[in-house]
Amino acid sequence: MCSYENLPNHEFSNMKQDHKVVIVMVPFPAQGHLNQLLQLACLISSSYDLPVYYVGSATHNLQAQVRANALNPSDIAKIHFHDIPTPKFASPPPDFNALSKFPSHLQPSWDASMLLREPIASFLRDISSKSRRVVVVHDSLMSYNVQDVSSLHNAESYIFNCISVFTLYCLISLSMGMSVQLEEDFLKKLPSREGILTDEIRNLGALQSPHMDIRSGDIYNTSIVIEGEFLDLLAQVASKQNKKQWTIGPILPTKLDRVSTRENICLDWLSKQPPRSVLYISFGTTTSFSDREIKELALGLEQSEQKFIWVLRDADRGDIFTGEARKVELPEGFEERVKGVGLVVREWAPQPEILAHSSTGGFMSHCGWNSCIESITMGVPIAAWPMHSDQPKNGFLVTEMLKIGLIVREWEKREELVSASTVKNVVRKLMASNEGDMIRKRAEELGEAVRRSTEKGSASRVELDSFIAHITR
């Protein structure tokens, strides 16, 4: 396994001379996906001095940049953002009263992204004519768009998986008609696949399948420390594919030195609170709560009498730069009553820095993989409230397998209103009970082990060095 600093001098000079290995990132246009590939782009560019292109619509490239939490601006500046003209798409507001929490309103933007095959192929042809090798790292949901890699003699592609290995293992096993290899007790509790996706997104996934075989390998944003058992199980079900695999996560920066210096209302407020006393609440970029749900959550937080920061935002539109944001109404007098105890924030918040702050002691989350990996890495336990897609399985991994969280609402009861008393009880259990303290201790120990795994010579860094050595061979 080697990184640039370990390469013999003649190899290093050869790489520089023949215009290099060029890496092209092709993300899927949803925040959790854009963010992870930008993190990977910065990690590779800053650690190995390789040119990295980030390819997408102008709107989504800009979205990735303005929301680049915890990334060093000088690292982002090294990335070549290549804007691809995208057909116009509708960008309706989310339906906050919809029974299903799946963000169907984003479908027009996803449909438009499936029309990018030709402009991506044109870009790849151009860049391959000037490079020794082109390495395309793409979201699995962009497999259709990058299929022309196979027609270029000096290009190869790798799928970057934006979901947990546990979730991926369950999906592949069930799609192949194989049973999930878990203990009987776990199997009984495993959340069903009901209600996680729409037919439209299933069809979009099916469009990718015929083009996934051209990849040369798979990259996972997880650590062997977190999911070693499931990496082994995944290797068994995927053994026929004979693809190389690298487990390089977490790819987010783990030493957030700017936590104490960055000016932000959340971080300033946190700095005035006791250690591990604050519950951070955020449901990501694809969840909208109804007025009734917001009222119950607000009352539950108030009744818990625990300190909190609540990021209260509606789900993203397909184009986040258009349309008016919904003004979410809180119970009358709520913010006044919780002053000093709770902080409600309605703008974008620096989530990794909040989770890394010493005053943060818990995270109420929808369990998107981005949020899970950030919380796990920073050693913060999770109050899991999954909404759709991979989130129910991620929530199960966190609460049942890793035992670093509590479930707020069982997946089978997803269409029931979560009451204020339920919220109050879960928050108190996580933040102010012996059981919560034990969960927090496990989360902190796991976080420490995960952070260590990214250091030079440790598991995740060795895997990343191995991937770089492979693509620069």
- Name the residue among 138, 233, 125 with its Cα closest to residue 179: 233
Residue 197 half-sphere exposure toward CB, CA atoms < 13 A: 13
pLDDT at residue 14 tops 90 = no
> Rounded to an integer, what distance in angstroms lies between the CA atom of residue 23 and that of residue 38?
12
- Return the axis-axis angle of helices 434-453 and 224-237, rounded to nearest 10°: 70
Residue 98's pLDDT is 92
Burial 175-199 (b: 16+ CB within 10 A, else e): eeeeebebeeeeeeeebeeebbbee
Instruction: Provide mean pLDDT across the span 361-380.
Output: 98
Predicted pLDDT at 19: 57
Average pLDDT over the chain reads 93
pLDDT at 261: 54
- Whether the pLDDT of residue 402 is over 90: the answer is yes
Task: Band the pLDDT of 102: cuts 50, 70, 90.
Answer: very high
Point out which residues pair with 220 in neighbouring strands: 161, 247
Mean pLDDT of 393-410: 97
Arithmetic mean of pLDDT, 442-462: 97
Q: How sure is the predictor about 262, in pLDDT bands with cuts at 50, 70 and 90?
A: low
Give the residue carrying structure tokens 């022309």: 148
The pLDDT of residue 240: 65
Confidence of residue 319 (pLDDT cuts 50, 70, 90): very high
Predicted local confidence at residue 300, as pLDDT: 98
What local confidence, expressed as pLDDT, does residue 259 receive? Answer: 46
Task: State yes or no: is 33 an active-site residue.
Answer: yes
CA distances from 340 to 48, 336, 372 (A): 45, 9, 28
**pLDDT per residue as tens digits for the range 18-75:** 458 999 999 999 999 999 999 999 999 999 999 999 999 999 999 999 999 889 999 9
> Contacts by 58-67 with C-beta closer than 8 Å and gap 24+?
58/83, 58/86, 59/86, 59/319, 59/320, 59/321, 60/27, 60/29, 60/34, 62/321, 63/31, 63/34, 63/320, 63/321, 64/27, 64/34, 64/35, 64/37, 64/38, 65/38, 67/31, 67/34, 67/35, 67/348
Question: What's the token pair of residue 216?
Answer: 């040369």
| 124 pLDDT above the threshold of 60 | yes
- Compute CA distances 12 → 2, 15, 155, whole Å: 12, 5, 20
In this prediction, residue 3 carries a pLDDT of: 38
DSSP character at residue 400: I
CA angle at 414 for the pair 409 and 209, rounded to the nearest 5°: 115
**How many helical (H) and strand (E) elements, i.e. helices and strands, does the chain have?**
19, 13
> For position 4, what pLDDT does the model report?
34
Minimum mean pLDDT among 144-148, 254-258, 267-271, 303-307: which range? 254-258
Catalytic residue among 75, 139, 218, 314: 139
pLDDT band at 122 (very low <50, low <70, confident <90, very high): very high
| 198 pLDDT above the threshold of 60 | yes
Burial of 74 (0-12, 13-18, 19+ CB in 10 A): exposed
Q: Using alpha carbons, select from 160, 92, 29, 71 the residue that is nearest to residue 326.
A: 92
- How far is Cα 395 from Cα 164, in angstroms, rounded to an integer? 11
Number of neighbours of residue 455 by Cβ within 10 angstroms = 12
pLDDT bucket at 273, cuts 50 / 70 / 90: very high
Cross-sheet strand order for the sheet of 307-311: 342-345, 307-311, 278-282, 360-365, 382-384, 405-407
Both tokens of residue 225? Answer: 């420390």
Instruction: Read off the pLDDT of residues 200-227 as tens digits, 9 standing for 90 and up.
Output: 999 999 999 999 999 999 999 999 999 9
For the record, the structure tokens of 155 come out as 């290009």
Instruction: Specify the DSSP element, H or E, that contains 37.
Output: helix 31-48
Mean pLDDT of 110-120: 97
Exactly one of 33, 60, 105, 357 is catalytic; name it: 33
Average pLDDT score over residue span 136-162: 98
CB 86: neighbour CB atoms within 10 A? 19
Which amino acid is it at 147?
Answer: Q
pLDDT the model gives residue 257: 55
Q: What's the mean pLDDT in 235-252?
A: 87
> Where are the strands (E) in 86-231, listed by range?
133-139, 155-161, 217-220
* Alpha-helix residue ranges (DSSP H) falling in 406-458: 420-431, 434-453
291 carries an active-site annotation: no
Closest residue by Cα to residue 436 from 446, 425, 447: 425
Determine the pLDDT at residue 121.
Answer: 98
Q: What is the DSSP letter of 402?
A: S
Band of pLDDT at residue 17, cut at 50, 70 and 90: very low
For 262, counting Cβ atoms within 10 Å of its Cβ (0-12 exposed, 13-18 middle, 19+ buried), the class is middle
Q: Tokens at residue 370, please? A: 């981005």
**Which ranges constitute the DSSP H helices of 247-327?**
265-270, 291-304
In one letter, which amino acid is 415?
E
